[in-house]
Copies of this chain bind each other. A is one copy, B any other.
Amino acid sequence: MDFRQIRYFMEVATREHVTEAAHSLHVAQSSVSRQIVNLENELEVDLFIREGRRVHLTPIGKIFFERMKHAMNVIDDARREVKEYLDPEKGTIRITFPISLAAYTLPTVIYAFRLRYPEAKFQLKQALYQELIEGVIKGDFNLGLIGPLPLKEKKLQQKVLFTENIVALLPIHHRLAKESSVKLQELVDEPFVLLPEGFVFRDIVVNACQNLGFTPNVAFEGDDIDALKGLVSAGLGVTLMPEVTLVDSLPRSTVKIPLVEPNVTRTVGVITPKERALLPTEKLFYDFLQEFFTRLDDFKS
């Protein structure tokens, strides 16, 4: 067994396509095909089912794939750990985060971090709530920004960073657009524009409404925060969003209005795996995160 075989295997397994895997690995198709066969011969099991020109994993192939993903994560982390050992400030931070933090919070933190450590590199992965948690547990990531923090996940270390206000975003010609504040109850009959199912931030809004006894009428869905802004801007509905995502500039033809009742907030924090230690550079970033938001809180109050 060989690292190369495992690499080839993983690539073929994820793509279920030998030729594509070969391209992505920058080798000939025949090489990949042959290494897969070699691996199967050594393990004395079929990892793939060949149906015509299709290849897909056998049940045991799937198990093997999961195990190898784990092992390769351990090995990749070890390599990075060794490299970063001499020079943590030049290492890489791998971090996963929800879309709602993508626009403002994360870029701001990264910008500040790089002022102090200009050579640090980042690998960013936007993910849905559950994906994100799974990614940190399984070892694909050692750091995850998330809001709200998941309940009682015993494999995760959690740390609150800040709590943010949620405001209403309305089209500028909306009947409530001139108010200085709105109550959520006043939006009962409004068309909402929200993120699709699966995004936590959608759930936060829906839950807040349901606590008041109504289910929001979702008129349109947008795949990212900017899409939502566009929809509101076009007058197609109203939405709620964290205040920070509007901090730079308000979308054209919209107004943001504080939500006074209930006071909807969300708590954003960082999760790390309890089982694994952070890599040197990631540790720098983790400590920085806490320092950064502590200062921000001090500044606010």
Contacts and interface: CB of A to CB of B under 8 A. Distances in A.
A50 interface: no
Contacts of A124: none
A60 B81 CA distance: 9
Contacts of A78: 63-64, 67-68, 71
Interface stretch (A82-90, A168-176, A217-225, A238-246): A82-90
A247 interface: no
Give the one of A45, A68, A85 with max B CB within 10 A. Answer: A85
Kindly state the interface size class of chain A when it binds its partner: 20 to 34
A75 B60 CA distance: 14
- Tell me how many chains of this kind the complex includes: 2
Contact of A45 (B3, B68, B71, B85): B85
A15 interface: no
Contact of A71 (B43, B44, B75, B82): B75
Contacts of A45: 82-83, 85-86
Contact of A60 (B64, B70, B85): B85
A28 to B, nearest CB: 20
A298 to B, nearest CB: 36
A4 B4 CA distance: 11
Interface in A114-158: none
A171 to B, nearest CB: 52
Contacts of A11: none
Interface string A71-101: 1001101110111011000000000000000
Given A67-B74, A68-B75, 5 more contacts: A45-B86, A63-B85, A67-B78, A71-B74, A71-B78
7 contacts: A2-B2, A2-B4, A60-B85, A60-B86, A64-B82, A67-B74, A275-B275
